[in-house]
Amino acid sequence: MNISFTFKNFDPSDHLKTYANKRFGKLGKYVSHSDVADLQVNLMVEKFRQKAEVILKADSINLTALESSEDMYSSIDMVLDKIEAQLRRSREKMKGRNKKARGNKTVHMDDLTFADKESGDWTPTIVGRDSYEPKPMSIDEAAMQLDAKENDFLVFRNSDTEGINVIYKKKNGDFGLIDPGH
């Protein structure tokens, strides 16, 4: 990770530089391609306030944090805690997105007919195949969409549970719901 420091309105000691470099170097574990990540640390003094600002630019992450206190070391620690929390949240968000992306699977439907064999038994025969990705929607949306179409059933992704559900028309005009997750 490329770390650059900017000091405004004061001359930093060598101890402060090594402390800040060591503390911010730990952020590399949160970034996947840390060799291309840029971390800009701005340390400034305004009257009695010691401010620390951090700007992180990595793959698809742009984060900023600002903290101030009466001591530069505590400002560095507070801004580091803040940026770590932001990085953890963004990483959890990405994990959640990946789970949702893996969950989008294509559904295959087969049309069956029953053919009469010579022995008089009825056997199923596949006469057509269709595949599509189920769209996320609520149960009410799915019922309205099924009511508007000529189909007898609809496969959809339930937006509340993130699971695949099937809604179907009953003979009396009501709807039935198949939810394998509950």
Q: Would you state the pLDDT for residue 15?
A: 92
Q: Are 122 and 114 in contact (CB under 8 A)?
A: yes
Same-domain pairing of 15 and 91: yes
DSSP state, residue 171? T
Residue 152: partners with Cβ closer than 8 Å, 6 or more residues away: 168, 169
Quickly state the pLDDT bin for 171 (edges 50, 70, 90): confident
Side by side, the strands of the sheet bearing 164-169 are 136-137, 153-158, 164-169, 175-178
Same-domain pairing of 92 and 174: no
Identify the CATH number of the domain in which residue 165 sits.
Answer: 3.30.505.50
Same-domain pairing of 79 and 33: yes
The amino acid sitting at 21 is N
Same-domain pairing of 23 and 92: yes
Helix (H) or strand (E) holding 83: helix 72-103
Same-domain pairing of 111 and 169: yes
Q: What is the pTM of this model?
A: 0.53
Share of the chain above pLDDT 90, in %: 26
pLDDT tens, residue by residue, 125-144: 766 777 777 888 888 888 88
Q: Are 79 and 65 in contact (CB under 8 A)?
A: yes
pLDDT greater at residue 72 or residue 162: 72
Q: Would you state the pLDDT for residue 67?
A: 94
End position of a domain, from candidates 70, 102, 134? 102
Q: How far apart are CA 175 and CA 182, in angstroms?
A: 18
End position of a domain, from candidates 102, 123, 149? 102
End position of a domain, from candidates 52, 73, 102? 102
Written as six digits, the tokens of 72 are 């530069």
Same-domain pairing of 72 and 114: no
pLDDT tens, residue by residue, 46-80: 988 999 999 998 877 888 999 999 999 999 999 99
DSSP state, residue 61? -
Same-domain pairing of 81 and 118: no
Out of 29-33, 63-67, 84-88, pick the least confident.
29-33
pLDDT beyond 80 at 98 = no
Q: How far apart are CA 31 and CA 22, in angstroms?
A: 16
Angle at 13 between CA 10 and CA 15, to 5 degrees: 145
Domain with 157, as residue range(s), is 107-178
How many domains does the chain divide into? 2
Same-domain pairing of 92 and 112: no
Q: Would you state the pLDDT for residue 76?
A: 94
Same-domain pairing of 127 and 90: no
Same-domain pairing of 17 and 88: yes
Identify the CATH number of the domain in which residue 19 sits.
Answer: 3.30.160.100
